[in-house]
Amino acid sequence: MIIFPAIDLKGGEVVRLAEGDMNRATVYGDNPAEQAMIFAEAGAQHLHVVDLDGSFAGEGRNVEAVKAIVETYSGYVQLGGGIRDAKAVENWFNLGVARVVMGSAALKDPEFVKAMAKEWEGGIVVAVDARDGMVATEGWAEVSDVSVVDLARRFEDAGVASLLFTDIGRDGLLKGVNIDATVELAQRVDIPVIASGGVKGLDDIHVLSLHAHEGIEGVITGRALYEGKLDLATAIAMGARA
């Protein structure tokens, strides 16, 4: 099971939001590339990077910060945030990211996302962000009338690499991952699932690792790392045993 340390970018700084609220941002640093190297030194081979400004703007806003991360970090960079057209997808891949995460586009234009998954084999991740079981979009500012499972099933056999499932109500709050909802999604679709939202410590990593054989590919963690509640090297070792 892959452990993805998170680097969320707002105005070029490393931040974490509470429940996806841009007005509830905690700044953890002003050098994203340096933060990537700290994670690399702990053994991280994958990063999850989010252009938060891009999520709301619908276009890349932290390009230089992402470029610095990609040029410095030797592992795989998974990137999300406002990626809603073919040119944006191409630009990020050309910059060197390994996988692109698409959320709002997956709900509003699923055929486009499927086309991207076909063109960029193994490179497209569909973000399934949920509030009370319903899909949220536009940087989590809007909640749709589509259920998480219904959206996920639209992409079965489409060639997407993974589903990234986030419980918004827990994200950035250290409440613990919504294990039940994450595992249920993994059991109900044939696409690997990445857990996100609320990781508070090794207990979350341990429990998720027990379900790795049911389709849990990995878990994203941010605030727990930045606030010293989770040791990254230990988490990576635990995930490797799953």
Number of domains in the chain: 1
Rounded to 5 degrees, φ, ψ at 41 are -65, -25
pLDDT higher than 70, residue 171: no
Q: pLDDT digits over 186-241, tens only?
A: 999 999 999 998 899 999 999 999 999 999 999 999 999 999 999 999 999 999 99
**30 catalytic per annotation:** no
- Of 65, 217, 71, the C-alpha closest to 81 is 65
Query: Are 12 and 65 a contacting pair, CB within 8 Å?
Result: yes
Residue 22: which pLDDT band, with cuts at 50, 70 and 90?
confident
Scored b (16 or more CB within 10 A) or e, 30-64 reads eebbebbbebbebebebbbbbbbbbbbebbbbbee
Query: Are 5 and 44 a contacting pair, CB within 8 Å?
Result: yes
Q: Residue 158 is part of a domain; what is its CATH number?
A: 3.20.20.70
Rounded to 5 degrees, φ, ψ at 179 are -60, -50
How many percent of the chain have pLDDT more than 90? 75
Of residues 169 and 193, more confidence is placed in 193
Catalytic pick among 129, 167, 171, 204 = 129
Distances in Å between the alpha carbon of 200 and those of 27, 49, 58, 127, 130?
18, 19, 30, 21, 19
Mean pLDDT, rounded, for 137-141: 52
Q: What is the pTM of this model?
A: 0.93
**53 catalytic per annotation:** no
pLDDT higher than 50, residue 139: no
Residue 172: which pLDDT band, with cuts at 50, 70 and 90?
low
pLDDT higher than 80, residue 133: no
pLDDT higher than 80, residue 128: yes
Domain of residue 148, residue span: 2-240
Q: What is the mean pLDDT of the chain?
A: 92
Q: Please give the pLDDT value at position 143.
A: 63
pLDDT higher than 80, residue 145: no
- Between CA 127 and CA 118 the distance in angstroms is 17
Mean pLDDT, rounded, for 132-159: 77
Q: Please give the pLDDT value at position 179.
A: 92
Q: pLDDT digits over 31-64, tens only?
A: 999 999 999 999 999 999 999 999 888 889 999 9
Report the Cα–Cα distance between both ends of the chain, in Å, rounded. 6
Beta pairing, strands 76-80 & 46-51: parallel
Q: What radius of gyration do the chain's Cα atoms show?
A: 16
